[in-house]
Structure 1
Amino acid sequence: MTTRARTTTVTWSQANARRLDRQFLSEAASSAGHAARDAAGAAGAMLGAHAQVLSAAELSVGLRAPGTTRTDVRTALWTDRTLVKTFGPRGTVHLLPAAELAMWTGALSALPRGGSPFPKHARMTPDQVEAVVAAVADALTGAELTIDELSSEVISRTGPWAGDLVMPGFQEMWPRWRQVLHLAGHRGALCYAANRGRKATYTNPGTVPMPAGEATAELVRRYLRAYGPATPGHFAQWLAAPRGWAGQLFEDLAGAGAIEEVAFEDCGGAWVAAGDTRFPSAPPRGVRLLPYFDAFTIASRPRERLFPGAAYERALAGGQAGNFPVLLVDGTVAGVWHQRRSGRRIAVTVEPLSPLDARRTRALEEQVAGLGEVMEGTPELTVGKVAVGAHA
């Protein structure tokens, strides 16, 4: 990427403080009364709540929008439809604002597709991929189907080849067509509907994706607003996109004046949205509990600055963020925690990596009380060793 004059210098502390502010996670934002308006606003601010574990997504959302409970998040999903559960960044399940789904599907469907990870006999041709996506969209229009029901519909619309059991699943083999399930979500042909008993169901959200160029430009701007300064490499890692593609995208946006380069501590050159160069002068303060796969811990880079020292070993799984719920103290990871629910009782164990003083202990107790409000239970705090390992 072409080097340009950098007129702004940003320290890690400044970048971290702004990210926390914009995630509604900072003490300064809380004291100023700044919080997400509702569940959709919280999900939009973090660029999607990771929802492989739905209870973790509910907590990520609720902690950013005070007064929001897990019931409110479910109402936003299944009744008000202001949230959508679908395949988001990295092909993983996220909660996204319904009002932003056209942007998301436009951007995600524009990502270059890499080589197939499946053996040659299991792969699908480009024509087969298109046939399956079209069949999924058709089958789910005006319907809510379980995966088995959807499989029958896809096979009947495409051919028996789609049903060949060639894709490794959980202790079984899945039909060939399922390897493009997440792609159907990225194309806007599929999203989750409410469970039918214990079974997940899917539907067609009826979204028309935004044009690719417009959508990717908007996603970069929103990403940089939430997590900038950032490099094209950071963006590529967050999105699971090719680095070369991300580099060219940033180059094009820089040439159009949509983003600008700053000098960022430990990274050299990094990027922010054009004109978005104001940063807090005060360092981050406060205590926060963040759940599994919280967007802030996954997207914030450089990772070794967010997980300093012992935190890098204790709170990451082989360098991967999100597999442990984390304790933030003054904006950096300073411990791990775990919750275990039994009825309304929620046993919360927090393991700080260094002792907390009286002020921070009180702040931790307030965080645990807030967790109970979101999860609609009665929390009980224990400060001690967390024996549970990383989430798979």
Structure 2
Amino acid sequence: MSAPPTVTWSAANARRMERQFLLTTAKPGQAGPGEVVDAMLAAQAQVLSAAELSVGLRMDGATRQDVRDALWGEEPSLVKTNGPRGTIHLLPYAQLPLWTAALPAVPSGPSPFKAEARVTPAQAEEIVTAIGEALDGVRLTIDELSEAVVARTGPWAGDLVMPAFQGMWPRWRQVMHLAGQRGALCFAPDRGRKVTYTRPQDFGEPMGAEEATRQLVRRFLYAYGPATSHEYAKWLAGPPGWASTLFASLSSAGEIEAVDMEGEAVSWVVAGDTEFPAQPAQGVRLLPYFDAYVIASHPRARLFPGRAYERALNRGQAGNFPVLLVDGVAAGVWHQRRSGRRVTVTVEPLDRLSARQERGLAVEVERVGEVLEARPELVVGTVGVGPHA
């Protein structure tokens, strides 16, 4: 049996960036917001402004309005709903048949709720059906949706049993993320200051769960490979043993193959996808909170070398700080503060920037301003803001 191909981490990192429009941004007509998010697989969006920046910075000349039009326009290419890990993401509308089949197939861990607060599997199915029926063709606030769900299920679904912030939420909300993952719920435009929800329309039937599961692995490896099964499990918040068995099955079927990435744990790529850039990543990029690239890329210690591991991560977790990337690795943090039409971008490099890198940073700050539709001001100094929750 021949030895697996050898890949340097630098080459792997450059390919990931290239495929995610982080080395060369998407030109007009090349890829719109839906295609850019598809290249990222998904854009985490519990902070929607950060997701708008993630997508916009990957496109030449784009603004946050382009992303909003893709999300809320008459012909949307994006949908805001529950994605990997159950968290809020922007997903490509065209790929909802894949996502709504693959995500519910990820085994879940033990319930975090006390026995008396949990729902049974049958009750969860009843709630998801009720949510989908209530949101079909309408937009409802959370209170309106709660009334509709309880009316369709029973008083038990409205019992206030879920600790939340300084109050209690009704029982049905513990499976709200599952409704999003199954395509029964998505976000709609706000009604004043109130969030509203609807049901995504006309996206087709979900794929078969097995094919969707296998396809999602291949798509993940195309975007973020080489990667281990454990890293895939972490990205989805799935059991490591399940992911390991899944990868073994795909390997046996010839769909993925192993590579040797500088002595790291066994890493995988899509079968035959073994071409990598000859040159390492170069340039300066600013990535906002929860950018998909820093969340899904591994190993953490290589992407966040030296002091960056402590400064730009939150106890080893990526995404809680906006990150300054220099030549493909984390080299500092940054923060943006908006005041009217002006946005002040404070950047804290961990090492002195070269003249070339300073020029690149200035260009990147201009792009941040362009995406946010604001006049940018660059300040190089200490970022005093802590990690986002």
2:176 aligned residue (181, 185, 196): 181
Task: Tell me if the contact between 1:59 and 1:70 (Cα under 8 Å) persists in the aligned partners.
Answer: yes
What residue identity is the alignment partner of 2:171? R
Give the equivalent residue in structure 2 for 1:380.
377
Q: 1:58, 1:266 → 2: CA distance?
A: 37
- 1:51-86 CA distances to partner (integer Å, 9 max, x unpaired)? 010010000000111121101111110113110000
| Shift in alpha-carbon separation, 1:379–1:266, aligned structure 2, 3 A | farther
Give the equivalent residue in structure 1 for 2:308.
311
Task: Tell me if the contact between 2:37 and 2:43 (Cα under 8 Å) persists in the aligned partners.
Answer: yes
Task: Tell me if the contact between 1:35 and 1:64 (Cα under 8 Å) persists in the aligned partners.
Answer: no
1:269 equivalent in alignment to 2:266: yes
What residue identity is the alignment partner of 1:332? V
- 1:286-343 CA distances to partner (integer Å, 9 max, x unpaired)? 0000000000000000011000010000001111100000000000000000000011
Q: 2:142, 2:265 → 1: CA distance?
A: 47
After superposition, residues 202-221 of structure 1 pair within 5 angstroms as 202-206=197-201, 207=203, 208-221=205-218
Give the equivalent residue in structure 1 for 2:39.
45
After superposition, residues 59-138 of structure 1 pair within 5 angstroms as 59-79=53-73, 80-138=75-133
- The 3-state SS of whatever aligns with 1:340 is strand
Give the equivalent residue in structure 1 for 2:162.
167
- 1:168-221 CA distances to partner (integer Å, 9 max, x unpaired)? 112110000000000011111111111111111111114422111111111111
> How far did residue 126 of structure 1 move?
1.1
Give the equivalent residue in structure 2 for 1:257.
254
- 1:29-55 CA distances to partner (integer Å, 9 max, x unpaired)? 35x969961111111111111101001
Q: 2:263, 2:327 → 1: CA distance?
A: 20
1:10 equivalent in alignment to 2:4: no
Give the equivalent residue in structure 2 for 1:296.
293
* Structure 1 segments unaligned to the other structure (5+ residues): none
- 1:118-174 CA distances to partner (integer Å, 9 max, x unpaired)? 011111111111110110111111111111100000001111000000001121100
2:364 aligned residue (357, 367, 381): 367
Task: Tell me if the contact between 1:24 and 1:34 (Cα under 8 Å) persists in the aligned partners.
Answer: no
Task: Tell me if the contact between 1:56 and 1:292 (Cα under 8 Å) persists in the aligned partners.
Answer: yes
- The 3-state SS of whatever aligns with 2:184 is coil
- 1:8-46 CA distances to partner (integer Å, 9 max, x unpaired)? 1011111111011111112xx35x969961111111111
> How far did residue 272 of structure 1 move?
0.3
Q: 2:29, 2:117 → 1: CA distance?
A: 48
Q: 2:388, 2:263 → 1: CA distance?
A: 30
1:347 aligned residue (344, 351, 375): 344
1:286 equivalent in alignment to 2:283: yes
What residue identity is the alignment partner of 2:46? Q
1:229 aligned residue (226, 229, 237): 226
TM-score, normalised to structure 2's length? Answer: 0.97
| Shift in alpha-carbon separation, 1:82–1:272, aligned structure 2, 3 A | same
Task: Tell me if the contact between 1:56 and 1:291 (Cα under 8 Å) persists in the aligned partners.
Answer: yes
Q: 1:333, 1:339 → 2: CA distance?
A: 17
* Structure 2 segments unaligned to the other structure (5+ residues): none
Q: 1:38, 1:65 → 2: CA distance?
A: 8
Q: 2:342, 2:236 → 1: CA distance?
A: 37
What residue identity is the alignment partner of 1:252? S
Task: Tell me if the contact between 2:27 and 2:59 (Cα under 8 Å) persists in the aligned partners.
Answer: no
TM-score, normalised to structure 1's length? Answer: 0.96
Q: How many residues align?
A: 386
> How far did residue 383 of structure 1 move?
0.3
RMSD, matched Cα? 1.4
Task: Tell me if the contact between 2:52 and 2:67 (Cα under 8 Å) persists in the aligned partners.
Answer: yes
Q: 1:154, 1:386 → 2: CA distance?
A: 45
- Identity score, percent: 64
Q: 2:76, 2:169 → 1: CA distance?
A: 30
Q: 1:387, 1:189 → 2: CA distance?
A: 41
> How far did residue 268 of structure 1 move?
3.6
| Shift in alpha-carbon separation, 1:283–1:257, aligned structure 2, 3 A | same
| Shift in alpha-carbon separation, 1:64–1:215, aligned structure 2, 3 A | same
| Shift in alpha-carbon separation, 1:172–1:356, aligned structure 2, 3 A | same
Give the equivalent residue in structure 2 for 1:24.
21
